[in-house]
Amino acid sequence: MKLSEIHFEETKQRLKGSIAPVITPFTEDDSLDLETLRELVNWHIDSGSHGISVTGTTGEPSSLTLEEREQVMETAISAVAGRVPFVPGTGSTNHLETLHLTKAAQEMGADAAMVIVPYYNKPSQHALFKHFKAVAQAVDIPLIVYNIPGRTGVNLEAKTLARLNEDCPNIIGVKESNKDFEHVNRVLLNCGRDFLLFSGIELLCYPMLAIGGKGYISATANVLPGKVAEVYNAWEAGNVEEAMQLHYELMPLNDVLFRDTNPAPVKAALGMMGKIKPRLRLPMDVPAKSIQEEIRTVLNSYGLLNQVRSES
């Protein structure tokens, strides 16, 4: 086995549990708020998150310039400081941008890179295979493919993923934001049980562990990182009933955080909790007032707003 392949296998052993997809905070004038980003990363790690990701869907990558995406990655990896694995999102609708960002992630020392199925242009399965294979061959960093058909307009089929897994040793896993549970079962059937399967659908985080998933990359971790991480901890310890109880305990929060397009409700929630200024760049915006009231009610039911009052 080559040294690089040994490295890929070692990385596979480390990537598990709740990898938090941290939001990108902005200031009042919509500039990057990198100091708050550092604070959020530290809070996640202190709360028990098993890994950190940035500039995935929850990080609003399409609202950032290439330079800003690199700034966010560099700030986050500096804050992580090797304490947990760091897996930035480096994909784009543009192939050359994807190559640039994935190479940048490798150069700054990321543990792996998460590469989304290109959005808007709806490539064929043949084109997707060529795209991901070209990215994999251009770098020597482990890759996690990110399949989110609700955002991209196309599903990366299990057989296409299996071809990539066979041809590209550094494609070690997939984040599946696909509500089709039959599909995610077939991912492991076609790619093998050692292929890393992460859930990107909140209500499937627990069920995917049951079929052999290694963890999840859940937007809800932005609001309640400790509790989200505990689901995996309980499962890993063999406490199935506790993991299931936590799964259902989180459902009201999961539901309200997707009453509008992610990450708008998450940022609204973090604003109410005093963690960030709840800013999104247009064309995104904070949720309508009625949804914000729903968010406030749910946060209060979890005691998250009591913490803000006690600290103020």
Active-site annotation holder among 175, 214, 267, 275: 175
Residues in Cβ contact with 163 at an 8 Å cutoff, skipping those fewer than 6 apart: 129
Does the active-site annotation cover 146?
yes
Neighbouring C-alpha atoms within 13 Å toward the C-beta of 219: 32
The SS3 of residue 20 is strand
Cα(263)–Cα(11) distance, integer angstroms: 28
Active-site annotation holder among 119, 146, 216, 232: 146
58 is in an annotated binding site: yes
Distances (CA, A) of 190 to 18, 94, 170, 183, 216: 24, 28, 17, 10, 20
User: Helices then strands (H, E): number in the chain?
Assistant: 14, 7
Does the active-site annotation cover 206?
no
Q: What's 175-195 look like in SS3?
A: EECCCCHHHHHHHHHHHCCCC
Residues in Cβ contact with 159 at an 8 Å cutoff, skipping those fewer than 6 apart: 125, 190
Give catalytic residue positions. Answer: 146, 175
The annotated binding site is made up of 58, 217
Q: Per the annotation, where are the binding residues for pyruvate?
A: 58, 217
